[in-house]
């Protein structure tokens, strides 16, 4: 048998053991390796060629922000088991939802730690990492505040898309997170 056939047999055997998620992950990795570099260079050139200097810079800034956000979500899934072990106390909101970011989890767990009467939220190492993250975006209250605010605004946009009229309030949103956690932690 040729090498490529052996690789295929091994991949199929592993898929039988671990399920189709493994095969889909391999396909996604191969496709992303094939296209990401080309797409990245294309986006940089496209934004400068089609827009004027300031417009192109603004679009690139948005592009890089979106890339950072997707990396943050990706890392949240990849690191969930490790971070749930070393960044959190036993009672906390666990990392791992693919639609949320590491920054959001650090933010809500710090919020919980600061507002609960019992040991919960971030561990000492998690608190250190959250403090470091909070050094960014100081003009908007710190990165953790921005992470919670962005989640609130996304939730609000979904509600508005379904015909609900809301008035997002960051302090009320944070209070709801704390109340929800305290209620769940008692169970």
Kindly state the average pLDDT of the residues 156-170: 82
Predicted TM-score (pTM) of this structure: 0.78
Task: Decide if pLDDT at 185 tops 70.
Answer: no
Q: What is the 8-class DSSP label of residue 122?
A: B
Pairwise CA distance, residues 62 & 123, whole Å: 33
Q: Tell me what pLDDT residue 1 has.
A: 66
Task: Decide if pLDDT at 109 tops 90.
Answer: yes
| 52 alpha-carbon distance from chain centroid | 32
Pairwise CA distance, residues 137 & 107, whole Å: 14
Pairwise CA distance, residues 167 & 155, whole Å: 11
Question: Closest Cα to residue 80, out of 99, 97, 103?
Answer: 97
The residue extents of the domains of the chain are 6-45, 80-186
Tell me the per-residue pLDDT of 65-94, one tens digit each, with 9 for 90 and over. 899 999 999 999 999 999 999 999 988 999
């Amino acid at each position: 048998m040729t090498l490529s056939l052996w690789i295929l047999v091994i991949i199929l055997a592993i898929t039988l053991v671990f399920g189709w998620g493994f095969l889909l992950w391999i396909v996604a990795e191969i496709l992303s390796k094939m296209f990401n570099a080309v797409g990245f260079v294309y986006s940089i050139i496209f934004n400068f060629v089609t827009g004027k200097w300031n417009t192109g810079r603004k679009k690139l800034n948005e592009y890089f922000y979106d890339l950072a956000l997707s990396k943050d979500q990706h890392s949240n899934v990849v690191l969930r088991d490790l971070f749930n072990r070393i960044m959190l106390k036993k009672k906390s909101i666990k990392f791992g939802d693919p639609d949320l970011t590491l920054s959001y989890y650090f933010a809500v767990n710090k919020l919980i730690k600061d507002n609960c009467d019992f040991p919960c939220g971030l561990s000492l190492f998690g608190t250190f990492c959250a403090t470091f993250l909070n050094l960014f975006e100081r003009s908007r209250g710190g990165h953790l505040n921005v992470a919670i605010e962005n989640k609130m605004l996304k939730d609000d946009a979904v509600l508005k898309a379904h015909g609900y009229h809301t008035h997002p309030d960051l302090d009320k949103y944070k209070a709801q997170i704390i109340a929800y956690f305290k209620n769940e932690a008692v169970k």
